[in-house]
Amino acid sequence: MFLVKNRLLHISSLAVFSFLFYAFSQLYFIKNLNFTDDIELLIGEGVNLPARWIGTKDVSKDIPILILAGHADSQGLAGAGTSGEAVDKLGLSPMDPDISDELFWNLKLQESIVQLGQERGLNIRSYDPGIRNIDDANDPRTNWSVGKKFSQNGGYALEIHFDSYGHYGVGAGLIPPFHEIPNKIDESIARRFGRFPVLFRGGLGAPRRQIRILEIGKLEGSLEENLRNVKTRQRTIKLLSNAIVKAFLDGLNRHAVSNQKLDGDDTYLRGIYL
């Protein structure tokens, strides 16, 4: 009888130990996913190009803000956006076979930024053309056309992008508009993510139309892993959108920054060059 009780006790102890070990291991696994709350570690290397502009222009606290998802109207065309390291190098399936992985994440982040921004009192909205292939860049339904009109009417248009992986990409940072002195929102975003020179690659289509471009980071490594992992996806999107919304709020409330001269390689183009 004693041996039976001893054996039952041993089995019970083993079962309790096994249960506790399993629970601990699951908790440890969840907590030790490749996720970080450090935005700089998550987005990886920032742009490392000479850019000496600084945003000094005041903006209205209720300035209308428009968030655009980069490449939303150019799928199947030359500007579809990066497929990301996971698809191109690691052979994983795309998030959506009909669009590039970059656009997939651009759209997710666009939605999160607008929702969080509205919750925090920003005058912010989004635009999605809905049509994924518009051949004419000047078609009134494109991101560029809508963003240009929005900016001309006094709004702040920002197009979200993820940069290409590896040596194809440059890294995180804000590309300012050509013919407009950067404002304090630009400065706030640049301090968080980095800053590109005004004339990056000779001038891109969006900045020529007064639309800022924000490269979140290269679509690779830890950033892409945390986006693709269902256990960390929402936290990652929320972390990124929170950083962007906070940059907006800081820019709207930041005290005046001292002026800084631009050097000869970092100048603003006037309307004649548009």
pLDDT (tens digit per residue) in 126-164: 999 999 999 898 999 999 999 999 999 999 999 999 999
Which residue do the tokens 């935005």 mark? 39
Is the pLDDT at 224 greater than 50? The verdict is yes
In the chain, which ranges are E strands? 65-69, 124-127, 156-163, 173-175, 211-218
Listing DSSP states for 95-132 in one string gives SSTTS-HHHHHHHHHHHHHHHHHHHTT--EEEE--S-S
CB 222 within 8 A of CB 41: yes
What's the pLDDT at 193? Answer: 95
What's the pLDDT at 150? Answer: 98
Q: What value does the mean pLDDT take over residues 15-20? A: 45
Structure tokens belonging to residue 248:
């907006």
Is the pLDDT at 35 greater than 70? The verdict is no
Whole-model pTM: value is 0.80
What's the pLDDT at 55? Answer: 95
Cα atoms found within 13 Å of the Cα of residue 10, Cβ hemisphere only: 6
Per the prediction, the chain carries an average pLDDT of 83
At 267, is the pLDDT very low, low, confident or very high (cuts 50, 70, 90)?
Answer: very low
Name the nearest CA neighbour of 82 among 109, 97, 103, 96: 103
Q: What value does the mean pLDDT take over residues 242-270? A: 64
Which is it for strands 156-163 and 65-69: parallel, antiparallel or unpaired?
A: parallel
Q: How many other CB atoms are found less than 10 A from the CB of residue 43? A: 26
| Alpha helix (H) residue ranges in 50-100 | 85-88
CB 215 within 8 A of CB 163: yes
Please tell me the CATH superfamily of domain 39-273, with its number: Zn-dependent exopeptidases (3.40.630.40)
Is the pLDDT at 263 greater than 70? The verdict is no
What's the pLDDT at 76? Answer: 79
Name the nearest CA neighbour of 249 among 52, 61, 58, 39: 61
- Residues in Cβ contact with 191 at an 8 Å cutoff, skipping those fewer than 6 apart: 247
d(CA 83, CA 68): 19
At 44, is the pLDDT very low, low, confident or very high (cuts 50, 70, 90)?
Answer: confident
d(CA 250, CA 254): 6
Q: What residues does 74 pair with on adjacent strands?
A: 133
pLDDT digits (tens, 9 = 90+) for 69-111: 999 998 976 778 999 999 999 999 999 999 999 999 999 999 9
Is the pLDDT at 256 greater than 70? The verdict is no
Max avg pLDDT among 32-41, 46-55, 166-175 = 166-175
